[in-house]
Amino acid sequence: MWVAAALALLVVAGVAVALIAARPDRTQVPNVVGSSISVATQRLQNDGFEVTTVRDNSEKPRNTVIGQQPAAGSIVDAGTKVTINVSDGRAITAVPDVVGQGRRAARKSLIAAGFLVDETPAPSDTVKVDRVIAEEPSGRSQAEQGTTVQITVSTGPEQIAVADVTGKTEDDARTALEAAGFKVAVIEQNPADGRAARGSTVTIIVATEPKQIAVPDVVGRTQNTATKTLSGSGFEVGVQEVAVDTPEQDGIVQKQEPAGSADKKVDRGTTVTITVGRFDPALNPDPSVTTTTPAASTTTAPAAPGP
């Protein structure tokens, strides 16, 4: 008996809804999400609705409708006010000033402010290794969140070939080396001082670039940037690959061996092995699912010419 009663109520309710929908002073709200503000406003007004607009920042293009209330399909009284949420585009904010900061701190600051970051390595005689030389757009300027900020990161003094001055006189050797951009210092002389026969040979030893150098820190950089930085500093580069869980880590150096350190120095020409992330959407379509790390493969890139 209760089943029959329930069915009767459903029938009555359905008839009531139909009757309400059929009333001439009731109408259905159209769907205007995704339309431009002008198209959405015109359509709603043509259907007899009053339109009010609220603007919000979003990833959608400026002046695109991103929401509405009442929702599309609702049955409401004719002349009801429909509020449409319209995109004002991405938020405009100040670009953090990161010149002089370490590259990792600079990236963290820019990303936290809503910007993307790209790096370009460049030599500098005045800015320490791994510190930011310049940025574009410039610090404290206004830009849309999501804009890519290009930072130029120091790789230290430019590495150039040392002229061979063996057999030259001190003046000729000094002139050639200074013309190439080097400073010349005599650190040993034989005979050291005193008197010697005219025409005898006086041997000088000139300070040259040290054999051992610091390894640049390239973790977090792209494979291309890391290879250029290490090769330009005189190192061989070995590359290994490891699976990563997100597309953002694809092509990014996850670790290096030996690790980058300004305090620890190794021989010029040492092989620095970088482990580069590889994201395969076919193997890991859901970035939240962790994949098994495949066996690493290794290749070697030639070092830049030494002095």
Q: What is the pLDDT of residues 130-186, one digit of tens each?
A: 999 999 999 999 999 999 999 999 999 987 777 777 777 778 878 877 787 777 666
Residues 97 and 146 in one domain: yes
Reported pTM? 0.49
Measured CA to CA, the distance from residue 21 to residue 201 in angstroms comes to 112
Quote the pLDDT of residue 192: 61
Quote the pLDDT of residue 3: 42
Quote the pLDDT of residue 92: 94
Residue 105 lies in a domain: yes
Residue 17 lies in a domain: no
Alpha helix ranges (H) inside 54-152: 103-112
Residues 76 and 94 in one domain: no
Quote the pLDDT of residue 11: 47
Quote the pLDDT of residue 63: 97
Residue 12 lies in a domain: no
Residues 216 and 303 in one domain: yes
Residue 254 lies in a domain: yes
Quote the pLDDT of residue 249: 93
Among 65, 87, 109, identify where a domain stops: 87
Listed residue (54, 33, 32) closest to 42, CA to CA:
32
Residues 195 and 228 in one domain: no
Do 101 and 115 meet the contact criterion of CB atoms below 8 Å apart?
Answer: no
Identify the DSSP state of 248: G
Among 158, 178, 194, identify where a domain stops: 158
Domain count, the chain: 4
For the chain, residues with pLDDT lower than 70 are 1-24, 184-200, 202, 206-209, 284-307
Residues 151 and 106 in one domain: yes
Residues 98 and 114 in one domain: yes
Quote the pLDDT of residue 188: 63
Among 50, 67, 87, identify where a domain stops: 87
Handedness of CA 141, 103, 132, 136 (dihedral sign): negative
Residue 127 lies in a domain: yes
Domain of residue 71, residue span: 26-87
Listed residue (145, 101, 105) closest to 127, CA to CA:
101
Residue 4 lies in a domain: no
Residue 15 lies in a domain: no
Residue 140's domain is classified under what CATH number? 3.30.10.20
- Scan for tokens 């040492």, then name that residue: 270
Measured CA to CA, the distance from residue 261 to residue 214 in angstroms comes to 6
Quote the pLDDT of residue 304: 52
Quote the pLDDT of residue 285: 62
Quote the pLDDT of residue 218: 95
Residue 104 lies in a domain: yes
Tell me how far apart the 2 most distant CA atoms of the chain are, in Å.
133
Residues 303 and 253 in one domain: yes
Quote the pLDDT of residue 187: 62
Quote the pLDDT of residue 197: 60
Residues 77 and 94 in one domain: no
Quote the pLDDT of residue 194: 64
Quote the pLDDT of residue 258: 94
Quote the pLDDT of residue 16: 45
